[in-house]
A and B are shown apart, each in its own frame.
Chain A
Amino acid sequence: MNLKATIGMETHVELDTESKMFCSCEVIESEEPNISVCPTCLGLPGALPVPNKTAIEYIVMLSLGTNCNITNEGMFHRKNYFYPDLPKNYQISQFDFPVGINGSLEIVLDEELHSVEIERVHMEEDTGKSVHEGSGRIDSAISTLLDFNRSGIPLVEVVTKPVISTSKMAVAYIEELRQLVIELGISKGKLEKGNLRFDANISVADENSNELGTKVEIKNMNSLKSLEKAIDYEIMRQSKQVEKGESVIQETRHWDENKQVTISMRTKEGSADYRYFSDPDLPNMIIDQEFIKNSKKKIQNLPTDKRKTLKESGLSLSDSNYLDKGEKWLYDLYLSTVENTKDSKSTFNFLTGELQGQMRKAEIDKLPEWVDSEKLANLINLFETNEVSFTSAKDILAKLLGEDIDPKSYASEKNLIQSSDDEEIRALVTSVVKDNQDIVERLEDPDDKLVGFLVGQVMKSSEIKVNPGTVKEVLLKELFG
């Protein structure tokens, strides 16, 4: 039996607002606990929530960015469960009237575009943070410490339909969503800071079956690497069970980064167990056309638009996607440089390979002010037209990163310009062939390693830089006709 995996992703995006979702406490990043809290986000009795307008604008922008239909008359629900990081015993969330429904997100996988269908985009609030005290093992904790600075920070949950088939596709989806929230300016999008947190719902079934297998939810994946590994592990675990004829239990499992396995946490609650009901503190939320129009105005360059522009410059889809997902300065630099070089591939290779490599080595994350697209384009053109060798181009770049030079003048000054003058090279070749008759006699064919030796001799005999490609061409013509 051939099996197929089906994956649905649930992603929580922490919005980058000044204040929290339902109170005016400042959103802070602090190690000091419980310093940005109030009766509302501490869940004290009698406190009333008042929603943050900017957070609603941001979720509308994200819904539009994922091609969702906007629910004009929405509402908030209470999702009831008991856990100490949620002291009012319910989370304000959305149930059957989420802000965005039925959307899609275009992603790039290798050289292909795929569309991931989005089921819903809804608004909710974050919980506090728990630290378990004890011997270090979570199951032998002696007490739990609570910090509510995070409690009430606006969160958007983006849920896909079960349409993802591999771990690589899930990673590409998260990368795309991350880029989208960054471009929209609605979240910092830092995975290591928990700005994006994701769970995966995974099932395995016979590839010929129209029905999905039993769904298992995987939590606690903190990086794209652990997401990929956890999905691969879980597909393998479930496949083994299905192949043995055993049934998969519907449950929530936790990814154990140290053991590199998923571990059962608890039997999964159904949505009925959360006893959702409309929050009586929060009347209907009207998102009218005017509000949508104003939110739309704030959307500038979406990742799909950027990718299109890059592709139009001549780059492949995967190279376009690479720059699309990279830092903004590199994207801007590429576009202004390629305008002057008209050579997309070599510009891409030079900027993402050599330039970024040298910057990393020199430990600089910002280009010096004198390094602009014009100078870089001149440098790329110098080696693309064989005026300087690639090795010389690398040296010129290193110099340019240290001081303000003109690449071409510097190349002339340092005698790095290669001659492609055929007459000059022919004279050098003739002289080298004459002086190395013993080698020439041993040559068998144009691919003989000794050809390289003779090219080297020509280069050495020249007082000026000559282009090795031209030397080889002239030499082969002289020797083999």
Chain B
Amino acid sequence: MSENFNIDDVSNLASIELSEDEKAKLQKDLQIILEHVEALKNVDIKDEKIDIHPLSKVLELRKDESKESLKHEDAMMNSPETKDGHFVVPPSIE
């Protein structure tokens, strides 16, 4: 895994632009994290109960009842640009 690690791919997926200096620093830091993960793989856990979530609390479910939403004006108030009740953003084509 660690040899395939590419800082450019990760910054691209995270939409974060990095300078060459930042890339070099993060490449090093993230590489260390990946080595820690590699080390964890060597721990023998076959007799351990699997905790699949960091919290031990159990999910509470909500009754399916609708409640009043935000007022339209309030929902739109922080938007830099609106049109016909929509939020306007730069053209985004997949």
Q: Which residues does A use to contact B, with CB under 8 Å?
A: 17-19, 24-27, 32-39, 42, 50-56, 73, 75, 80, 82-84, 97, 130-134, 138-139, 141-148, 265-266, 273, 275, 278, 280, 282-286
Contacts and interface: CB of A to CB of B under 8 A. Distances in A.
A282 B88 contact: no
A278 B84 contact: no
A57 to B, nearest CB: 9
A56 to B, nearest CB: 6
Counting chain B CB atoms within 10 Å of each CB, the highest count among A36, A83, A139 belongs to A36
Contacts of B59: 51, 282-286
Interface of B: 13, 15, 52-67, 69-70, 72, 75-76, 83-94
A143 B91 contact: yes
6 pairs of A and B residues whose beta carbons are closest in the complex: A54-B64, A145-B86, A26-B66, A53-B61, A24-B67, A141-B91
Contacts of A139: 93
B66 A18 contact: yes
Given A131-B86, A283-B59, A25 B66 contact: yes
Main secondary structure of the interface of B (DSSP, over half): loop
Contact of A145 (B60, B65, B88): B88
Contact of A278 (B53, B70, B90, B94): B53
Given A50-B61, A144-B92, 5 more contacts: A25-B66, A53-B61, A53-B63, A278-B52, A284-B53
Contacts of B63: 53-54
A56 B52 CA distance: 19
Contact of A35 (B15, B53, B64, B72): B72
Contacts, number: 129
Counting chain A CB atoms within 10 Å of each CB, the highest count among B62, B63, B65, B72 belongs to B62
Given A37-B70, A50-B60, A275-B13, A145 B55 contact: no
Given A73-B52, A265-B94, A38 B69 contact: yes
Contacts of B93: 132, 138-139, 141
A192 B84 CA distance: 24
A270 B25 CA distance: 26
Contacts of A33: 84-86
Given A37-B69, A97-B52, A51 B61 contact: yes
A132 B94 CA distance: 11
B54 A280 contact: yes
Contacts of B66: 18-19, 24-27
Given A34-B85, A144-B88, A147-B86, A55 B64 contact: yes
B64 A53 contact: yes
A209 to B, nearest CB: 28
A283 B69 contact: no
Contacts of B69: 25-26, 35-38
A24 B62 CA distance: 9
B62 A145 contact: no
B92 to A, nearest CB: 5
A143 B64 contact: no
A283 B70 contact: no
A273 to B, nearest CB: 6
A51 B58 CA distance: 12
8 contacts: A24-B65, A33-B86, A34-B72, A75-B53, A83-B92, A145-B83, A278-B54, A285-B59
